[in-house]
């Protein structure tokens, strides 16, 4: 028996209806149609399965595409966020660096300003110290100059005496020997004639000239005999001689009642020819014995006292 119909119909070959050719053709035709319908159904089912698979694949692809798009968006957002964060951090770092730079500049400027202020303070301190030192020197010089004055002795010579000795001086040698050097007295050299002017006998002035020979650093104690200077009778004082100021007058007023103080025995090394004389005494006989007008001959070991001429001694 041959199964011509896949649909499940079976025909017997010995069936009388099958033996009929016409009927047989109909049956075969029906069987072919059924088989063709089954094949079409199978193709349709396969097509449906294929289409469903294609739709599923398309949906999966679309889903994957959407996921990819979302992932790219997420990555872009993350990259943008990181970039913005990096830019923000760079801006913060740059602002911090700028602030640190400004702070260093301000600190450097402050240090420079402080150094300038300290330097200015040091200069001001040095100026104050220098001005104070100069002021003290001027005051000390004025005080030292005010302690001495120039007088003309009875022999016509000029002598520089201490202010305490000048109050008791009346124009004679009395109790004061103007020939000796006392109280670190300074010697006077004669000035050239164009720069000289005569000194009034009745006036006494303090002396501060560049022609003085400073003997303060070269004094030492000597024997009872004191040295005197040989000064010319025609000596004059230069224009640098100053008049006594109020301080000198006040000091003279205060010390007017005091007695003459004994002078310190000193020796001075200078280019002026010097000699030894006996010390002054209160006794008139000793004053007469020590007078320069009496002893014309030099004593033993002493220089001869000058009487006339002074150019040979300078």
In a domain, 81, yes or no: no
In a domain, 252, yes or no: yes
Give the angle subtended at the CA of 295 by the CAs of 293 and 297, to the nearest 5°. 130
Beta-bridged to residue 161, according to DSSP, are 149
**171 CB-side CA count, 13 A:** 4
**CA atoms of 134 and 145, how far apart (whole Å):** 16
End-to-end CA distance of the chain: 183
Residue 176, Cβ density class (10 Å: 0-12 exposed, 13-18 middle, ≥19 buried): buried
**CA atoms of 289 and 273, how far apart (whole Å):** 22
Give the angle subtended at the CA of 166 by the CAs of 163 and 168, to the nearest 5°. 130
**CA atoms of 173 and 152, how far apart (whole Å):** 11
In a domain, 46, yes or no: no
Look up residue 38 and give its two tokens. 């089954």
**CA atoms of 186 and 161, how far apart (whole Å):** 10
Q: What is the pTM of this model?
A: 0.28
In a domain, 78, yes or no: no
- Residue 192's pLDDT is 41
Backbone angles phi, psi at 228, to 5 degrees: -125, 160
In a domain, 194, yes or no: yes
In a domain, 200, yes or no: yes
- Residue 294's pLDDT is 58
Look up residue 59 and give its two tokens. 């949906």
User: How many domains are there within the chain?
Assistant: 1
Per-residue pLDDT tens listing for the chain (314 residues): 444 444 444 555 555 555 677 887 888 888 889 988 999 999 999 999 999 999 999 999 999 999 999 999 999 999 999 999 999 999 999 999 999 999 999 999 999 999 999 999 999 988 888 888 888 888 877 777 666 677 777 777 877 776 666 655 555 544 444 444 444 444 444 444 433 444 444 444 444 443 444 444 343 343 333 344 333 333 433 333 344 444 444 555 555 444 444 444 444 444 444 444 444 445 566 666 665 555 556 667 766 655 554 444 44
Domain that holds residue 290: 150-314
Strands 196-197 and 158-162, sheet pairing: unpaired
In a domain, 104, yes or no: no
In a domain, 285, yes or no: yes
């Amino acid at each position: 028996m041959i199964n011509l119909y896949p649909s499940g119909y079976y025909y017997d070959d010995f069936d009388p209806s099958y033996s009929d050719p016409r009927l047989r053709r109909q049956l075969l035709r029906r069987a072919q149609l059924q088989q063709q319908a089954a094949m079409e159904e199978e193709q349709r089912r396969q097509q449906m399965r294929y289409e469903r698979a294609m739709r599923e694949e398309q949906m999966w692809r679309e889903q994957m595409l959407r996921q990819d798009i979302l992932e790219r968006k997420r990555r872009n957002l993350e990259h943008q966020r990181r970039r913005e964060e990096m830019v923000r951090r760079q801006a913060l770092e740059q602002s911090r660096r700028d602030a640190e730079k400004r702070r260093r500049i301000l600190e450097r400027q402050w240090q420079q300003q402080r150094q300038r202020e300290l330097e200015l303070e040091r200069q001001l301190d040095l100026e104050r110290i220098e001005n104070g030192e100069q002021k003290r020197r001027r005051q000390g010089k004025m005080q030292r100059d005010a302690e001495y004055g120039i007088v003309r002795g009875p022999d016509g010579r000029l002598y520089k005496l201490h202010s305490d000795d000048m109050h008791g001086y009346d124009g004679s040698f009395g109790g004061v020997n103007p020939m000796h050097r006392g109280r670190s007295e300074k010697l006077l050299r004669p000035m050239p004639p164009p720069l000289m002017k005569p000194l009034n006998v009745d006036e006494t002035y303090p002396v501060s000239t560049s022609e003085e020979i400073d003997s303060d650093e070269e004094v030492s104690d000597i024997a009872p005999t004191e040295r005197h200077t040989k000064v010319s009778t025609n000596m004059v004082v230069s224009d640098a001689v100053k008049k006594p100021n109020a301080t000198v007058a006040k000091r003279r007023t205060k010390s007017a009642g005091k007695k003459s103080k004994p002078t310190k025995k000193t020796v001075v090394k200078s280019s002026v020819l010097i000699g030894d004389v006996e010390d002054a005494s209160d006794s008139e006989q000793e004053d007469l014995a020590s007078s320069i007008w009496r002893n014309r001959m030099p004593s033993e070991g002493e220089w001869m006292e000058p009487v006339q001429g002074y150019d040979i001694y300078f």
